[in-house]
Amino acid sequence: MTGGARAATLDLTRDAGALTADLVDIESVSGDEAAIGDAIEAALRGLPHLRVDRDGDAVVARTDLARAERAVVAGHTDTVPLAGNLPSHVDGDLLYGCGTTDMKSGVAVALRLAAAMAEPVRDVTYVFYDCEEVEAARNGLGRLSRTHPDWLAGDFAVLMEPSDARVEGGCQGTLRVDVTTRGQRSHSARWWRGENAIHAAAPVLDRLRAYTPRRPVVDGLEYREGLNAVAITGGVAGNVIPDACTVSVNHRFAPDRSEDEALAHVREVFAGFEVTLVDSAPGARPGLDKPAAASFVAAVGGEPRAKYGWTDVSRFSALGVPAVNYGPGDPELAHTPHEHVSLAKIADCEARMRAWLAGR
């Protein structure tokens, strides 16, 4: 076990809401998942019906009952940066704190299933991985798909991303570009000798404000695109006309467009500006017509809808594993300072997943 001395202790017999709070209180902003990885690994190693593997801060556990079908249940352990929202606290039915909805409640349900379901009707592989909230190149599931693709093999995957306990089909793609303006440095007291690159970025922001995103219907589900500045930087010193300004723009695109098509669209929006691709990940079409997905939907109930956020269903899709999103968190609250989750929804989600794995 790596770094076991530092691991907090997780008790997988506590109810899923309490276990969610325990997980939330182990701070794990992307890149800092060693402690939570250690805690998960330690808790699972004690279970005789699981084989446990580790790669970096990712932990993979599986039953090996030679069932006809293998399901993958997956969740990421990292969170976005804190916003003054730790430690967690409970207010009535709601648990507040960074990662409550996205997605330590889903991780808690998966851990509870892993501990309690010693003989599921289908073999299950539980995947807990790092660095989902940062650029695609660092994604822990992406790393596993390169280093240990066999660990991810299965007939169907449930990614426990926040979906408000409804099955969400497919996902939107996401890409980031840097839109950079250039100028010429000079002393700001003699500004006419220079050319202000920050002022030159005004039309970039104007185009973002004026942009109207598409809402296309794909395989019966409506998606909702977006084009947003997520960062802006420029400046040399307090008395220097800046010679560069970079607007980092995130485009979320529906799964009827490929990454290349989406990038071409972004380049068109910023025609005349220097546009550099930073990061890109494809969307996934809903795929609910596939039999494995349809049987899961039937087991847990409810009306499927489109997934707006990019999720690793796209990665499973690329590996040929049909996958849906299903988790207790509310996606509308993800990454907000007042992020929270309903304790009742966590329990309900666990009960439906148990029924599915028990074949009831």
Active site residues: 78, 132
Alpha carbon distance 226, 253 (integer Å): 7
| CB-CB contact of 165 with 329 (8 Å) | no
Q: Is 282 in the site for a copy of itself (CB under 8 A)?
A: no
In the complex with a copy of itself, the residue whose CB is nearer, 137 or 358, is 137
Give the integer Cα–Cα distance in Å for 142 and 155.
Answer: 18
Kindly tell me which of 156 and 308 has the beta carbon lying closer to a copy of itself. 308
Nearer to a copy of itself, 133 or 350 (CB): 133
Asked if 26 interacts with a copy of itself (CB under 8 A), we say no
How is residue 6 annotated by DSSP? G
The verdict on 82 binding a copy of itself (CB under 8 A) reads: no
- If one asks whether residue 6 binds a copy of itself (CB under 8 A), the answer comes out as no
> Binding a copy of itself by CB under 8 A: which of 5, 192, 298, 359?
192
Considering only residues 1, 231, 344, 355, which one is a binding residue for a copy of itself as defined by CB under 8 A? 231
DSSP state of 270: T
Binding flag, residue 317, a copy of itself (CB under 8 A): no
Distance CA 306, CA 318 (A): 18
Stretch that binds a copy of itself, among 4-12, 39-47, 62-70, 238-246 (CB under 8 A): 238-246
d(CA 220, CA 199): 44
How many angstroms separate the CA atoms of 38 and 29, rounded? 15
Q: Tell me whether residue 185 or residue 214 sits nearer to a copy of itself (CB atom).
A: 185
Considering beta carbons, is residue 233 or 295 the nearer one to a copy of itself? 233
Binding to a copy of itself by residue 28, rule CB under 8 A? Answer: no
Enter the tokens of residue 221.
Answer: 């589900």
172 binds a copy of itself (CB under 8 A): yes
Pairwise CA distance, residues 129 & 107, whole Å: 10
341 in Cβ contact with 329 (< 8 Å): yes
Decide whether 60 or 201 has the Cβ nearer to a copy of itself.
201
Q: Is the dihedral of CA 53, 28, 14, 347 positive or negative?
A: negative
Task: Give me the least distance between CB of 167 and a copy of itself, in Å please.
Answer: 17
Exactly one of 125, 139, 174, 317 binds a copy of itself (CB under 8 A); that residue is 174
Contact between 239 and 194 (Cβ < 8 Å):
no
| Binding footprint of a copy of itself, residue count (CB under 8 A) | 61
Mask: binding to a copy of itself, 127-166, rule CB under 8 A, as x and -? ------xxx-------------------------------
Q: Counting contacts by CB under 8 A, is residue 277 touching a copy of itself?
A: no
Rounded CA-CA distance 229/77 in Å is 26
* Residue 81 CB neighbour total at 10 angstroms: 9
Whether 277 contacts 333, CB under 8 Å? no
Rounded Cα–Cα distance for residues 177 and 155 (Å): 35
- Site of interaction with a copy of itself (CB under 8 A): 80-81, 83, 102, 133-135, 172, 174, 176, 185-194, 196, 198-199, 201-202, 205-206, 208-209, 224, 226, 228-242, 245, 247-248, 250, 252, 279, 308-310, 331-332, 334-337
